[in-house]
Structure 1
């Protein structure tokens, strides 16, 4: 298990910050819940997710991931429309959290 957090939950955002150390070979669920409780106390205004890993195949791969905490005020997303040559129109989803902090200032 490990616990990660971010202010931008966009599906393509793979740069979540790691809370503490990964909890490898932990058999006690109380230790995992203790770390989650401490993360929720410290990081109140962020998205927090838990990831579970399975090393049964000799490879550390994520088998389960879910969000366990959301901020009180979620900034959300907006649809950005771009017009290209001819009648080509493309749309992309952008996060208000990224717009507020600017590129390169978030981490």
Structure 2
């Protein structure tokens, strides 16, 4: 298991910050819940994700991933439309949280 967090929940943001070290060979769920609660205390305005890995096939592969905590105020996303060459229309999804705090000033 491991706990990760981010302030940018964009669907293409697959690189979240790792909270502490991965919890290898954990038999007690209390230690996982402790790390989750500590991450919630330290990052109250962030998104916290839990990942579970299975190494039974000789490789480390993620078998389960879910968001365990979300901030009380979620700014959401907006659709940005750009005119391309010819009559092409290009759509992209952008986050309000990134717009308010540009990259480099969020951390």
Aligned residues: 107
Deviation at 1:15, TM superposition (A): 2.1
User: Mapping of 1:1-107 within 5 angstroms?
Assistant: 1-107=1-107
Unaligned runs of 5+ in 1: none
RMSD of aligned residue pairs (Cα, Å): 1.1
Unaligned runs of 5+ in 2: none
Q: Which portions of structure 1, spanning 4 or more consecutive aligned residues, are displaced by more than 4 angstroms?
A: none
Whole-Å separation in 2 of the counterparts to 1:63 and 1:49:
13
Whole-Å separation in 2 of the counterparts to 1:28 and 1:74:
33
SS at match of 2:18: strand
Deviation at 1:101, TM superposition (A): 1.9
TM-score by length of 2: 0.93
